[in-house]
Structure formats: structure tokens, C-alpha cells
């Protein structure tokens, strides 16, 4: 970015519009790259299952070649993604949200039953003044648990 900005308002507006267009283009590229990387990773996982699954000897060479091509494409896209993100960050500063490689997990459905466990502190009194400690806040984390079915014997 050029540090010598023009003094004319119209030139500044034109420069701002041009940079906004570049930011929109780079954001679109980043989204597209991330989407393609995700689909290629899914393809690699599928091909690896095919490679190591039953009757994998028939098409082993073809599958290995496809895996190598997909991994090469993923590496290329990750490099392009990094370049586009660094350009976007340098132009927009902190206004651009960072993209992560892994998608975020959705919240667990509200219809699932919940078992709330409160973890109390080991100490209830301040070690310095012996005053009663009060809760400062709470942090809730959710973990999905599976309850296995139980066997029982019914006697008649």
C-alpha cells in the first residue's frame, strides 16, 4: 500500500472503491479455496478407504495416482489460500476474519436431555482473609455422551 496518499477527495474515493473491490475478490477466492480444500480432503479420505478396503488390489495404482494428485492440489490451494489471506490482511488490517482449516462444530440440539454437573471449588474460603468466596462467573462446555442399552432378565 502506498503511503503517499493523494489530497484530492475524488481520488481518495476512487482508491477506496478499488481497494474494496480487491478485498471482495480476495474474500471470494479465500472462500472458494477453503471449500475446494474441504472437498479434496473428503475425496482423499474416500480414496484411502477404497485403497485399504476389500478388493483394493484391482485398482491400487489408479487410486494411489488419484490420491497423489489430490494431495498435490490441496498443497497448491493451501499456498494460494495463504497468499490471498496475507494480501487481504495487509490491505484490510484486522477487519478480515481469520479462516480456519477445520470447520466449526454445530451446537448440540436443544432436544437432547442434559445432565448438568456443577464443579465446586476445593476451597470455599479465601486463604488470605478467610472471607467466603463467591462465584465470579460460569463457563459451560458440552460433551456428547452415549448411554449404552442395558440387558436385563425377565423371569415369568
Domain ranges, ordered by start, for the chain: 9-95
Between CA 57 and CA 55 the distance in angstroms is 6
Reported as a pLDDT band with limits 50, 70 and 90, residue 56 is low
Place of cell 482423499: 44
Rounded to 5°, the CA angle 45-37-101 comes to 95
Mean pLDDT of the chain: 80
Residues paired with residue 132 on neighbouring β-strands, in sequence order: 125
Non-local CB neighbours of 121 within 8 Å, separated by 6+ positions: 133
- Specify whether the backbone of 140 is left (phi greater than 0), alpha (psi in -120 to 50) or beta: beta
Q: Do residues 1 and 88 touch, judged by C-beta distance below 8 A?
A: no
> Can you tell me the distance from the alpha carbon of 103 to that of 35, in angstroms, rounded to the nearest whole number?
10
The closest alpha carbon to 98, from 107, 111, 88, belongs to: 88
**pLDDT for the residue 102:** 57
pTM for the model stands at: 0.45
Q: If you average pLDDT over residues 65-73, what whole number do you get?
A: 87
Asked if residue 73 lies in contact with residue 82, where contact means CB atoms within 8 angstroms, the answer is: no
Amino acid at each position: 500500500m502506498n503511503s503517499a496518499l493523494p489530497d484530492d477527495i475524488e481520488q481518495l474515493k476512487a482508491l477506496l472503491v478499488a481497494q474494496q473491490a480487491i478485498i471482495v475478490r480476495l474474500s471470494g477466492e479465500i472462500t472458494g479455496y477453503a471449500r475446494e480444500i474441504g472437498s479434496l480432503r473428503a475425496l482423499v479420505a474416500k480414496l484411502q478407504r477404497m485403497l485399504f478396503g476389500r478388493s483394493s488390489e484391482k485398482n491400487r495404482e489408479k487410486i494411489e495416482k488419484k490420491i497423489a494428485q489430490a494431495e498435490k492440489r490441496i498443497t497448491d490451494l493451501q499456498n494460494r489460500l495463504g497468499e490471498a489471506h496475507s494480501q487481504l490482511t495487509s490491505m484490510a488490517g484486522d477487519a478480515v476474519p481469520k479462516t480456519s482449516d477445520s470447520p466449526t462444530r454445530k451446537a448440540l440440539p436443544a432436544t437432547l436431555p442434559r445432565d448438568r454437573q456443577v464443579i465446586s471449588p476445593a476451597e470455599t474460603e479465601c486463604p488470605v482473609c478467610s472471607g467466603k468466596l463467591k462465584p465470579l462467573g460460569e463457563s459451560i462446555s458440552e460433551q456428547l455422551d452415549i448411554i449404552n442399552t442395558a440387558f436385563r432378565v425377565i423371569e415369568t
